Amino acid sequence: GGKGANQAVAAARLAGASQPVQFVCQLGNDGHAAMLEAALVGDGVDLSGAGRVDSPSGQGLVFLQPDGALSSVVVAGSNAMWPAQATAQMPGLESRVRGAAAVMLQREVPEHVNAAVAAAAASAGVPVLQDVGGEDRPIASELLPLLGYLLPNETELARLSGMPTGTEAEVLGAARALQARGARAVLVTLGADGALLLTEDGDILRQPPCAVPGGAVVDETGAGDSFRAAFCVALVEGRPLPEALALAAAAGAIAVSRLGAIPSLPRRAEADALASDLATLDAAADATPDATADATKEGPKKGWSLFGQPDVAAVPVDAAAVPDMGAAQWSLFNHGPRAAALRLELEEEASTGGTVARA
């Protein structure tokens, strides 16, 4: 399917008939093209703006590992066969772009296509979401200001910025470096660590990871595409950014719970249900009394855990023992901004031989 096809189908499944999805691509001259066209049309994607070229279809060969992780080899094929002047030589493309509610781009097509489409969209005030997955190449500084959202994963962010992205502070530093080059909002997907959005105004929104349905990652193929499509659909619907991020996280979690690319992409009802569960967890965490005042002082104190259980005792902790604490013990602090702040404060205390709350 490719990133563009995955995102088109995911958007169509999530938006439904209320927001028609158009997919502009270059279909090849082989049986794969007919199969792809049937799959896209079957999911309600409008292909009336697609081109057709005398070239085999583009293909992505996915190498799936037992834990659901993957690597892939992409053969560009027809995806590389765009006209030199895309908006001028493809009839109706510019008017389609200018009339859209949002435009999603990715880098499995030539960069001049993205540049022309982004310029047309920006001139009409249409938001552009640029997935930087695809061909590994620098992104032009003149393109960055045209993009409402730049959407790398942490590895892609490291390549684009030339900076490390191993910690949240490093991710923020790399995202800010791209903003210094002209990028506006930067939304970074962090795999099992959720996502982080640095808005154009410099605000930071953290999206916790969403529990994978069934509890196991089956196949990561299409997860990022599903996340980005859901975020775009939510923006078009006018949803607040936290809700858009929650829907995106839910869509990505559903995708990794199933085998395949297009077959794994979620429907709206299931994504809404999982996003609602995630919002309930965050609300429960945010509604509990702040335990930091008692939990980080020496000596036993009464307080509240994140799940409302009384009698949280603050006990001395040997800093050397903290790395040996299981992930499950820290998972209490994974939901909501108050929980994130508490987790950071407790980790700082523990690192200096201070105290940590145990429920």
Residues 275 and 202 grouped into a single domain: yes
Q: Which two tokens stand for residue 176?
A: 């800010």
Residues 300 and 215 grouped into a single domain: no
Output the pLDDT for position 135.
84
Known catalytic residues?
A: 225
Residues 77 and 47 grouped into a single domain: yes
Residue at a domain's end among 247, 266, 284: 284
Residues 210 and 344 grouped into a single domain: no
Residues 247 and 300 grouped into a single domain: no
Residues 113 and 183 grouped into a single domain: yes
Residues 272 and 323 grouped into a single domain: no
Output the pLDDT for position 173.
98
Q: Which two tokens stand for residue 51?
A: 């081109």
Q: Provide the residue range defining the domain that includes 319.
A: 289-358
Please identify every stretch of the chain with a pLDDT value under 70, giving residue numbers as ranges. 1, 281-359
Output the pLDDT for position 109.
93
Output the pLDDT for position 303.
29
Cα(113)–Cα(281) distance, rounded to whole angstroms? 42
Burial of residue 143, with CB atoms counted within 10 A of its CB: 0-12 exposed, 13-18 middle, 19 or more buried: buried
Residue at a domain's end among 239, 255, 284: 284
pLDDT tens sequence across 271-296:
999 999 887 766 665 554 443 333 33
Residues 112 and 248 grouped into a single domain: yes
pLDDT tens sequence across 198-227:
999 999 999 999 999 999 999 999 999 999
- Domain total of the chain: 2
Residue at a domain's end among 255, 284, 313: 284
Output the pLDDT for position 88.
82
Average pLDDT score over the chain: 82
Residues 346 and 207 grouped into a single domain: no
Residues 84 and 69 grouped into a single domain: yes
Looking up residue 179, the CATH number of its domain turns out to be 3.40.1190.20
Residues 256 and 346 grouped into a single domain: no
Output the pLDDT for position 180.
97
Residues 310 and 210 grouped into a single domain: no
3-state helix/strand/coil string of the chain: CHHHHHHHHHHHHHHHHHCCCECCCEECCCHHHHHHHHHHHHCCCECCCCEECCCCCCEEEEEECCCCCEEEEEECHHHHCCCCCHHHHCCCHHHHHHCCCCEEEEECCCHHHHHHHHHHHHHCCCCEEEEEEECCCCCCCCCHHHCCEEECEHHHHHHHHCCCCCCHHHHHHHHHHHHHCCCCEEEEECHHHCEEEECCCCCEEEECCCCCHHHCCCCCCCHHHHHHHHHHHHHHCCCCHHHHHHHHHHHHHHHHCCCCCHHHCCCHHHHHHHHHHHHHHHHHHHHCCCCHHHHCCCCCCCCECCCCCECCEEEECCHHHHHHCCHHHHHHHCCCHHHHHHHHHHHHHHHCCCEEEEC
